[in-house]
Amino acid sequence: MTEEIVVMEPGDERAQRIARAMASQTAGDILAALRDNPMTAAEIADRLSIPLTTLKYHVENLADAGLIEVVRTRWSSKGREMKEYGLTSRLLIIAPPVKDIRSILLKYASLFVVVAFASIVIAMLMPLFGGGAAVNEQKIMTSMAGAGSSADTVSSGINGLVLAFFLGGSLVILLLMIYEVYLYFSYYRRRKTKV
């Protein structure tokens, strides 16, 4: 069973239905009861010790909001059809609207500038503190091996650490930006197909 990803804006009609359905403790208790396995309305009412009419009201709201669904039906010993309810397999994301792709790119460009600036600051401060533990360890290994000068080793060690920090930070920013651009286009594609 694949999980559907639903992205909504806070004022979206669907987000409002979810908020109304989740407004009471009883709704949360119903969702918690259904976490383990599907149950009929009578089974849920028995487990939570609430009247069946109250339960049906909340079940209808939760189903209307898309949080639970009928997963199967079965027959009682008296020959009546009983619906079993279960949680839907959806990831719900309520996020503020993004007006355009430019704002996404500007946000990640500013994060890139922060990483670049932090890399420069680290490169300038590391020699003041002896180059850090990794560079000190590298100095010891070099002096034991007798190869190269200590200054070259420290400089290359610092450069390697700063470069690793810069590339790692840039990679994380790039991956986050790609993911957000993907969400942006998939959200507006779905939104256009609904209209």
40 pLDDT band, cuts 50/70/90, is very high
Q: What is the CATH T-level fold of the domain 4-94, as seen in this structure?
A: Arc Repressor Mutant, subunit A (1.10.10)
The whole-angstrom separation of Cα 116 and Cα 112 is 6
Write down the domain spans for the chain.
Answer: 4-94, 101-194
Q: Is it the case that residue 181 has pLDDT exceeding 90?
A: no
Mean per-residue pLDDT over the chain, rounded: 79
The whole-angstrom separation of Cα 168 and Cα 115 is 9
The whole-angstrom separation of Cα 137 and Cα 150 is 11
Identity of the residue numbered 183: L
Per-residue confidence (pLDDT) for residue 156, from 0 to 100: 66
Are the CB atoms for 169 and 119 separated by under 8 Å? Answer: yes
What percent of the residues of the chain are helix, what percent strand, and what percent coil, each to the nearest 5? Answer: 65, 15, 20
Identity of the residue numbered 10: P
Are the CB atoms for 66 and 88 separated by under 8 Å? Answer: yes
Per-residue confidence (pLDDT) for residue 22, from 0 to 100: 86
Judged by average pLDDT, the poorest of 66-70, 110-114, 129-133 is: 129-133
Per-residue confidence (pLDDT) for residue 104, from 0 to 100: 80
Per-residue confidence (pLDDT) for residue 78, from 0 to 100: 85
195 pLDDT band, cuts 50/70/90, is very low
